Amino acid sequence: METINLCDNKDFLIKVGKNSRILGIDPGKKNIGLSVSDPNQKIATPFKIIVMKKFKQFLEELNNIIREYEIKGIVIGNPINMDGTSGPRSQSARDFAQNISKNTKLPITLWDERLSSEGAFNLMGDLDINSSKKSKNLDQHAAAFILQGYLDFLNK
């Protein structure tokens, strides 16, 4: 099922435009981590975790965030296998992106999230965040790690 707003990484910036916020998403079965970029698209900040109960409720909360923060595009983490192939988790991320794309006109792109949780966990350790807070906030920090990777790609 093809959608107009699911785009590759290069076309994404053209559709989003400069000086606009981008939302990063770390999709999970239960927890969805969110991060938000600054308007200059330089820095990703961990934002929040949405506990997935029903997809419709998730979409309502997501749309509220999009309106409130004037989000112009969405980057979703794609858990590609370490050997570069796509597996079941990658397909789940693609399905998740497709489902969101049916409910928003914003451009959406997938970004390789290999080692994002590990990178976020290590970064929180470097910041002396204690173990219980690391586990509690991991998904939103992973979303920021994913989005920051994309922002770094944009700003090369």
CA distances for 118 relative to 75, 81, 121, 146, angstroms: 19, 14, 5, 11
Above 50 in pLDDT, residue 149?
Answer: yes
For 1-58, the DSSP string reads ---TTB--HHHHHHHH-SS-EEEEEE--SSEEEEEEE-TTS--EEEEEEEE-S-HHHH
Residue 51's pLDDT is what?
93
Residue 5's pLDDT is what?
65
Query: What are the tens digits of pLDDT across the range 63-104?
Result: 999 999 999 999 999 987 667 777 788 899 999 999 999 999
Contacts of 154 (CB under 8 A, 6+ apart): 13, 41
Query: What are the tens digits of pLDDT across the range 104-144?
Result: 999 999 998 765 445 444 554 544 444 554 455 678 888 99
Query: What are the tens digits of pLDDT across the range 11-65?
Result: 888 889 889 999 999 998 899 999 999 999 999 999 999 999 999 999 999 999 9
Predicted model pTM: 0.82
| Bridge partners of residue 37, in order along the sequence | 44
What is 9-154's CATH number?
Answer: 3.30.420.140
| Domain range summary for the chain, segments of one domain joined by + | 9-154
